[in-house]
Structure 1
Amino acid sequence: MATTENKLHAESRTEFGKGAARRIRRAHKIPAVLYGHGSDPVHMTLPGHETMLLLKNANAILTIDLEGTEHLALAKDVQRDAIKPVIEHIDLVIVRRGEKVVVDVPVHIEGEAGIETVVTVENSTLSVLADAFKIPESVTVSVEGLEAGSQILAKDVTLPAGAELEADEELLIVNIVQQQSVEELESELAEAEAEAGIEREESDEDEAAEAEAAEGESDDAEKGDDSE
């Protein structure tokens, strides 16, 4: 729940465009926009370090103090740099106490599946409807003892009290498949390379094996000559 501990002091933003955004980030601030409940979008900047600390958890509710006026807002869309630990832009949605919002909640996998299986997480988040101030930090999915061929769909996930499934019930969350042998993996790789027209370079081990085989054939030929 939003408190004074997750309050951010924002500043109105009047400059726009890529150049302005770069200048804002160089000043260790983050460009953001606040909207919702029929109000006009408000463009602002947020303090970089403090904001990043508060957004470590998904779906954070923040108290935005914009020039003396406070707004409760959900960090709906956080755009992060693909390489650097930098937030490039934030979309903030105004929320009211008691209202429900649709959010994507992280999926947490626990347990160990059956022997010689591979657990594939097909969707790492699950869309749910929840009270804006009671958004679950994650949903837990157990794969304990599941055999190859098992699947966990969205409708199979147990949600925390008060949360409702918003995603398609048939959405595949986790897929359990049989672990492939080294030979099968190499065969699939060779087929893929052949289809792509890629010629695999021989490894030192392959070259050594071919040289040994050739040497063996040469020895056999010499023995044949000696016997004549």
Structure 2
Amino acid sequence: MSDNKLSAKSRSDEGKGASRRLRHAGQIPAIVYGGGSDPQSIQLEHEKTWVASQKEWFYSSIIDLDVDGKLEKVLLRDMQRHPYKQLIMHIDFQRVNQNEAIRMSVPLHFVNGEQSPAGKAADVVIMHELTEVAISCLPGDLPLNIEVDLSKLELGDTIHLSSLVLPEGVEIPQLKLGPDHDVAIVVARQGRVEAEPAAEGEGEGEEAAAAPKAAGDEAADDAEGEEK
């Protein structure tokens, strides 16, 4: 049994009023659809689901959804949150067919960055251009995440999508669209160089030259005043 498990109950009441009552009772209205079966309205305990929603697997893994004792394999497809409260308003789950490829966005895990030549250099910034990648695979081959090894990254290097080492059975559909879609994942750039402090005495000559000019201006003003 997977650790990525949620428990739910079926529900018959639908509509905004019913959903509002569920939320007041600490429940989340949700729906399960797809997989060749009719959509089913369900409800989940908010507290337990909220805790699960803080985990990475909640968004990128197949979930074992227990509905009234019947287990279904599902994927999270949509989750509506309250604008400012820590409150989940509604969830959509999609049933999974083990024999059909699915498309999911999975997180990228960047490893060995501190060990790389770029990571050891004080004046180099490692930019993460992407934090997740869309993949296609059978449900049984779905990885929790994909690692990006930065151990050999040097100043000026760029890691692209095509450089990723993918698990067996996993592919990136975007790469089939052509070279222009092989976007950068990581870039090692030169960091900002601070300006060197001015040498002692530098600029003093300019200030000294400006002083007589100011004094001359004052004398000219006095002369104009006497003429008037």
Instruction: Give the TM-score normalised by the residue count of structure 2.
Output: 0.67
The answer to whether the 8 A contact 2:134-2:173 is kept is yes
Match of 1:187 in 2: none
Count of aligned residue pairs for this structure pair: 191
Cα gap change, 1:145 to 1:99, in 2 (>3 Å): same
Match of 1:105 in 2: 106
Alignment of 1:105-144 (within 5 A): 105-110=106-111, 111-112=113-114, 113=116, 114=118, 115=121, 116-144=123-151
- Structure 1 position 179, deviation (Å): 0.8
Tell me the percent identity.
30
The answer to whether the 8 A contact 1:60-1:74 is kept is yes
Measure, in 2, the Cα distance between the counterparts of 1:166 and 1:44: 33
Match of 1:160 in 2: 167
Cα gap change, 1:6 to 1:68, in 2 (>3 Å): closer
The answer to whether the 8 A contact 1:107-1:126 is kept is yes
The answer to whether the 8 A contact 1:73-1:93 is kept is yes
Which stretches of structure 1, 4 residues or longer, exceed 6 Å deviation after superposition?
Answer: none
- Structure 1: which 5+ residue stretches go unaligned? 184-212, 222-228
Alignment of 1:15-164 (within 5 A): 15-17=14-16, 20-55=18-53, 56=55, 57=57, 58-67=59-68, 69-81=70-82, 83-110=84-111, 111-112=113-114, 113=116, 114=118, 115=121, 116-164=123-171
Q: Which has the larger radius of gyration?
A: 2
Which residue identity is paired with 1:176?
A
The answer to whether the 8 A contact 1:10-1:64 is kept is no
- Structure 2: which 5+ residue stretches go unaligned? 176-180, 196-206, 216-228
- Structure 1 position 81, deviation (Å): 4.6
- SS of 2:110's partner is strand
RMSD: 3.3
